[in-house]
Structure 1
Amino acid sequence: MKDALAFLHTAQVHVPTFERLVRENAPALRVRHVVREELLADARVTGVDDADLIARVNEAMHEAAAGGAKVVVCTCSTIGATAERTPSGDAFRALRIDRAMADKAVRTGPRVLIAAALESTLAPTKALILSAAQNAGIAVQPALLFVEDAWPHFEAGAHARYIETLAGAIRAAAIEADVVVLAQASMAPVADTLADLGIDVLSSPAPGTAHAVTLALSLSPT
């Protein structure tokens, strides 16, 4: 039996998260996960416009679709725009996990605070927010927050400390924001930590997965 949906991740830790989110939406859906950690590592060095990196991201998206998936989602915001542009013909639909989040963010308020633990994620996410705003005919004022001291905790497997560091920095910076965008999928738990902030704190995994599942079901044979 063919896959219906596939994910391209740049960290193994994301696999159980997205598997759970898919099961919450469609328990019987066949899903494939491909992990290519080196793509994020290389993007941080070469930049996302490097021709070799683009070719390898496209290759990884096709690898994820090899089981027959009609929808392939990249869960890494740094390379998401590249993945979304993967030439696939009619073989599959290439998506980025954070587009649904961006569409909601620009409709929530004009002052959008984009927070990230990786500097390489900020520019692609800002471009996504501006694109979503343009598509919606809405003017936005994106601001960027780079929490530089958070990522080493993630790399060390100290996830509680990672979330705590991010939450503290975002809480201090969000005073003049209408909405906070958590630019990386790994940051999703920060939304619960900041539930008392008084403004929406948006993460990408849940809305992005829900959209992908809906699309996969619509494209799969009944």
Structure 2
Amino acid sequence: MPTLGLIHNSATLVPIFTEIAARVMPADVKLLHFVDESTIKNTIAAGHLQKSTMRQVVRLVGSAFDAGCDVAMVTCSSIGKAVEMAAELYDQPVLRVDRAMAEKAVASGTRIGVVATLPTTLQPTADLVRRVAAEQGKAIEIVEHLCEGAFQAVMAGDGAKHDRIVSEGLTEGMKGVDAIVLAQASMARVVASLPEGAVSAPVYASPELGMEHARTVLAGLGQ
């Protein structure tokens, strides 16, 4: 039975990825979830990805493989650099949830908007899009937009305020772009709630695209 290990920084992501897996994964794929909130909380507190957090991510990936997973995917964009480090250290596939999203966005045009509710997620996501474009030899322009106060609102339990700030960022802050990248998976539900035509460009979120990529990787293991 092929097994996918999903490493999260919040328990709220478990049902989201379980639901996506039910739709996109073959019935014989087993999921194992690993949750460690310290990876994001310590990164936010420090304002950047620390070496101690990188080591913790590497350990979490190792735990997933020790538990019998064939592929490990980290579902947080803020710690992408640590995921790439882990990929160098293990023989089994280690995936970034946002890689497929970045590739889709780069393929969509040259002016790419990146929206985030945290600066610690905005920068790594924008950097990933730049790197993917460089690998493809494509010149792009990135328009960064930080939805100030949205993360604090959702942490305080005010989901409505979070959604209002994010929707303003998507509609007002992203005018004139060819594609929009959501730096946080939690923002996808805001896009779904907006009226048709409110956002001028295609919007890419990592969970669905990341899981589809993981499906392809799992399928290739048996060949």
Alignment-derived partner of residue 201 in structure 2:
199
Alignment-derived partner of residue 12 in structure 1:
11
Alignment-derived partner of residue 72 in structure 2:
72
RMSD over aligned CA atoms reads 1.8
Residue type of the partner of 1:16?
P
Distance 2:89 2:219 in 1: 19
**How much identity, in percent, do the aligned residues show?**
30
Please state how far the C-alpha of 1:85 moved relative to its aligned partner.
2.1
Please state how far the C-alpha of 1:220 moved relative to its aligned partner.
4.8
Given that residues 188 and 205 in structure 1 are in contact (C-alpha distance below 8 angstroms), is that contact kept between their aligned partners in structure 2?
Answer: no
Superposition pairs of residues 14-29 of structure 1, within 5 angstroms: 14-25=13-24, 26-29=26-29
Q: How many positions carry a matched residue from both structures?
A: 219
Cα distance change, pair 160–206 in 1 and its aligned pair in 2 (3 A): farther
Please state how far the C-alpha of 1:80 moved relative to its aligned partner.
1.9
Please state how far the C-alpha of 1:148 moved relative to its aligned partner.
1.7
Alignment-derived partner of residue 112 in structure 2:
112
Given that residues 176 and 200 in structure 2 are in contact (C-alpha distance below 8 angstroms), is that contact kept between their aligned partners in structure 1?
Answer: no
Alignment-derived partner of residue 98 in structure 2:
98
Distance 1:76 1:55 in 2: 15
Cα distance change, pair 30–153 in 1 and its aligned pair in 2 (3 A): same
Alignment-derived partner of residue 51 in structure 1:
51
Given that residues 9 and 37 in structure 2 are in contact (C-alpha distance below 8 angstroms), is that contact kept between their aligned partners in structure 1?
Answer: yes
Query: Given the alignment, which residue of 189, 212, 217 partners 2:214?
Result: 212
Distance 1:3 1:66 in 2: 14
Residue type of the partner of 1:182?
L
Please state how far the C-alpha of 1:47 moved relative to its aligned partner.
4.7
TM-score by length of 1: 0.91
Alignment-derived partner of residue 90 in structure 2:
89
1:85-118 CA deviation, whole Å, 9 max, x = no partner? 204432x211110000000101111111110001
SS of equivalent residue, structure 1 residue 95: strand
Distance 1:103 1:152 in 2: 30
TM-score by length of 2: 0.91
Gaps of 5+ in 1: none
1:45-99 CA deviation, whole Å, 9 max, x = no partner? 3354422121111111112222221211111000022113204432x21111000
Residue type of the partner of 1:219?
L
Please state how far the C-alpha of 1:160 moved relative to its aligned partner.
4.3
SS of equivalent residue, structure 1 residue 27: coil
Given that residues 5 and 72 in structure 1 are in contact (C-alpha distance below 8 angstroms), is that contact kept between their aligned partners in structure 2?
Answer: yes
Matched, 1:178 2:178: yes
SS of equivalent residue, structure 2 residue 27: coil
SS of equivalent residue, structure 2 residue 212: helix
Please state how far the C-alpha of 1:204 moved relative to its aligned partner.
0.7
Please state how far the C-alpha of 1:164 moved relative to its aligned partner.
2.9
